[in-house]
């Protein structure tokens, strides 16, 4: 298991996202870029409606479906992950191709730590091609466990 490297600067991460979209033949629109910037800047798991509130001053009151379409696009291209348990999104530096995202979710403070592992690919059915996987673990983060 290995930690994600989220030490790249925001401009580096946006440039990488632009490259991912270009390789896929997709447009990296200003709205998609701005949504990704907000998710990256949040640094944790952020809900779509929180993003919507932050977009309003910059984009001129986009509607929820607009933000959800941007989030869906970014997720499809492996730039963010959806944390199912929290109905929230977290930035990712990795391509989804064969990438297994594992989330460790604190049930007290909702902190999310992401790690990834490639060893689960060995247990897939013959011929099955994994495009993306997400595993969520629930418990207490180090801070909350220490406070208990």
Residues of CATH 1.10.10.10 domain(s) within the chain?
2-91
What pLDDT digit, counting tens, does each position of 38-93 carry?
A: 999 998 899 998 998 888 666 666 788 989 999 999 999 889 989 888 899 999 86
Q: Of 102, 93, 119, 109, which is closest to residue 146 (Cα–Cα)?
A: 109
Categorize the per-residue pLDDT at 7 as very low, low, confident or very high, splitting at 50, 70 and 90. low
Half-sphere exposure of 35 (CA within 13 A, CB side): 27
Fold annotation for 2-91: Arc Repressor Mutant, subunit A (1.10.10)
Categorize the per-residue pLDDT at 2 as very low, low, confident or very high, splitting at 50, 70 and 90. very low
Fold annotation for 100-147: Dna Ligase; domain 1 (3.30.1490)
Half-sphere exposure of 106 (CA within 13 A, CB side): 17
Instruction: Using the predicted structure, report yes or no on whether residue 96 has a pLDDT greater than 50.
Output: no
pLDDT confidence of residue 124? 78
């Amino acid at each position: 298991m290995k930690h994600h490297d989220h030490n790249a600067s925001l401009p580096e991460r946006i440039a990488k996202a632009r490259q991912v979209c270009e390789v896929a033949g997709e447009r990296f629109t200003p709205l998609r870029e701005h949504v990704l910037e907000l998710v990256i800047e949040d640094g944790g798991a952020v809900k779509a409606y929180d993003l919507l509130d932050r977009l309003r001053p910059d984009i001129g009151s986009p509607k929820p479906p607009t933000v959800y379409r941007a989030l869906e696009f970014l997720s499809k291209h492996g730039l963010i992950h959806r944390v199912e348990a929290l109905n929230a999104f977290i930035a990712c530096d990795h391509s989804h191709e064969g990438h297994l995202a594992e989330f460790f979710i604190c049930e007290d403070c909702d902190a999310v730590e992401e790690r990834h592992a490639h060893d689960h690919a060995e247990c897939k059915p013959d011929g099955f091609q994994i495009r993306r996987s997400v595993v969520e673990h629930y418990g207490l983060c180090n801070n909350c466990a220490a406070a208990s």
